[in-house]
Amino acid sequence: MSAPSITPRTPYQLGYRMPAEWEPHQATWLAWPHNAEDWPGKFQAIPWLYAEIVRLLAAHEQVHLLVEDARAEGRVRGVLERAGANLDRVSFHLWPTDRVWTRDSGPIFVRNAEGRVAITNWRFNAWAKYSDWQLDDQIPGRVAEVLGMSVWEPAVRLADGSSQRLVLEGGSIDTNGQGILLTTEECLLSEIQQRNPGLTRAQLEQAFSDFLGIDQVIWLGCGVAGDDTHGHIDDIARFVGPTTIVAAVEPDASDPNHAPLAENLSRLKAARTLDGKPFDLVELPLPRPVIFSGQRLPASYANFYIANNLVLVPTFHDPHDRLALNTLAEVFPGREVIGIHSVDLVWGLGTLHCMTQQQPAAGGVVSG
């Protein structure tokens, strides 16, 4: 493959936009779990959970899987074979990673009206929490090179004339694929975040427009309790159609999630589409608090992943599991909706959406 070209004009100027997750995929990108410290005391179960997810995804689309080295590839192949995964649909890449949350460290793809797919390579700094992020920050560039795609590195020009490359995690944004984006103030604007200190709301909105083709940003407030990313949108509100949003709610007034999620729902009720109409809102419950080793975890059904003909939904051995699955089955009538037991997975502070990154199909047509 030839090296990707660095394109001087912005994606917006060239007619690119970030597609919605439900649009046809070429593939899903994942990284195989290897850091036991991310699931202390529970790591043994995680590779088998990943194998089941790869098996389900590979039945519907290609899976690109990042593994540490050739020895790890051999070990992973054995696990996937035992799990019954279709290895013809799994492409291995020997790229060491710090962690496995490719939603946040992986490329954010954009596509133009002619169906050409390209990559936006935002900076990744491990949520401004960990010192080991350098390997993960290389992933989008590596993907661009292996796929031979054009790539942009989003940046803003500062008052002193210097340029600052922008930090953005895929889990902090969600789009309807038609110019509207959801995100949160807690993650991108609050004082506790250290993604892009000093940047304004207007500067971020301009960057979303320039690099993701966004015309309107809907800002929610705070995320769920236990979320160490400080307010990722993919635990609280998701587009499931051009004008339909599922929003997490917590009716128990004694729960820390009650007030912030009620405020988010109020903001969504006040929001309007680009043609001035209200959104169709679907309320999604939260499971009861999931606590392990004295720590509340960011358990949310909103962290589902939409694949070709398939929706994978985290479940938590909770009475609300059935309600969440039924709710999502109603908004995705043409897809299989499958629950994935995630009580062990969420101990790593993320679940299904956090571990996946979709590659849209070129031309909007599924290949393979």
Positions marked active-site: 354
Nearest Cα neighbor of 143 from 113, 102, 86, 99 is 102
Could you give the 3-state DSSP secondary structure of residue 120? Answer: strand
* φ, ψ (nearest 5 deg) of residue 85: -75, 150
Q: Work out whether strand 62-67 and strand 25-31 pair parallel, antiparallel, or are unpaired.
A: parallel
CA 58 to chain centroid: 18
- Give 174's strand partners: 182
Query: Phi/psi class of residue 177: alpha, beta or left (left: φ > 0; alpha: ψ in -120 to 50)?
Result: left
Q: How far apart are CA 12 and CA 25, in angstroms?
A: 21
Coil, strand or helix at 238:
strand
Contact 318, 282 (CB under 8 A): no
The residues with which 248 forms a beta bridge, in sequence order, are: 284
